[in-house]
Amino acid sequence: MDLSEQSFQKFIGLVYEAAEDPGRWKALYQELQAALDVKSIHMLALDKRHGTLSYSDGANLPVQGELAYMQHYRFIDPRLPVILERPLGEWTHCHEILTDDEVARHPFYQEFLIPYDRRYMSGCKLADTPDATVIFVTLTGQAEGPLSTDRHAFLERLMPHLRRACRIGIQNFVYSSQALVGHLLVNKLRQPVILMTPGGDVIHTNEAAQDLLRSTSIVRVEAGRLQLPRRQLDALLRRCAELEQSLKMGPHAQAQAASQASQFASLQLQEEGGRESVYAFFTVLSPQAALGTFGLRPVVMLLFYHPRSAPAIDSGLLYAVFGLTPAECRIATLLAEGLSLKQIAQAQGTQHETVRKQLRSIYQKTATNRQPELIRLLLHLPHNAVQQ
């Protein structure tokens, strides 16, 4: 931690460098996280004209957590409405608006924040214009406690400069089809991901997916369109078309379609003769459900699992196939590593009964009944993918 005057003067320079060159914000976040010695720094922006999450970046942000927040946990985040209601520059500290008892009962904390050891938040609005609201947040762990007085004072001195930098570069925080938050997030995933339209036109591939395309002929992109074995491709496009049509109907049908689309379906892709298999998992994301982070039209997200190159247990795959929450993914992984429920509760800083409840949810989602059965499933996950 470095809260010296010399450090403060250095950050003033870094802030205005970021105002001039948006590519320098990332370095600022990383330097600030190290100087403050906090778990994470997070900056996010909400585009008011399009109703989208138009910016999300920071330092030491678990990418699985970012995706889970975007797709589910932002709907139950008790902190965000408070920050949005408060005046520009007024801080919100989560321990001042939620009691320990409320935290112990709230799924946002027990399923999401605490398993990632991001227990405490301090945040405020840096900009609030007709175009966008920009929010700055620090996150600290359970053992660290809330943001200390000296670190908060350091940030308070820096706030006028951060606010000025946001105003100067406000165009970097509004919606842009060239810099979609969802694309930036999937680029961070080790799991191969392809984004496409419901009709099969490829929009984006992350680096892992590009490696996959080079290593197998089962999955291809030709003339900008996804190519799979014919039967599986027809089934995929038919299902995507059905979900897209549902999203174009009334609010009730949209809600039902969004619920269906939030669950991943799976395909086992095999070359002729069955010598090689690749597992594909897909879902349709509506702009409303994903807060426009993948664009303003429905997008199909495909995740791929190649048994030759992927680890036996992959939290991204658990999330994709079974819809496990981040906390449930971690519990399943730790169980497979041989830890008891009591040890898992201690490792995560959660109550034993909370872990037992989450295990019951894992059993339900994976259609298993006992720990040995669950572990066997996890260790042979590629062979348990549903074929269509």
How many angstroms separate the Cα of 321 from the Cα of each of 148, 315, 318, 364, 385?
40, 10, 5, 13, 8
**What is the Cα–Cα distance from 110 to 105, expressed in whole angstroms?**
7
Separation between Cα atoms, residue 101 and residue 344, nearest integer Å:
21
Is pLDDT of 354 > 50? Answer: yes
Residue 257, H or E segment? helix 251-261
Q: How confident is the model at residue 382 (pLDDT cuts 50, 70, 90)?
A: very low
Per-residue pLDDT tens digits for 236-295: 898 888 877 776 665 554 444 444 444 566 666 766 655 667 777 788 887 877 778 887
Q: Cβ contacts of residue 179 below 8 Å, gap of 6+?
A: none
Q: Which two tokens stand for residue 60?
A: 């030491």
Question: What pLDDT score was predicted for residue 331?
Answer: 87
> Would you state the pLDDT for residue 312?
53
Domains of the chain and any CATH numbers: 5-173 (3.30.450.80), 181-384 (3.30.450.20)
Its pTM stands at 0.74
- Per-residue pLDDT at 273: 59
Q: Give CA torsion, residues 290, 115, 308, 372, to 10 deg.
A: -120
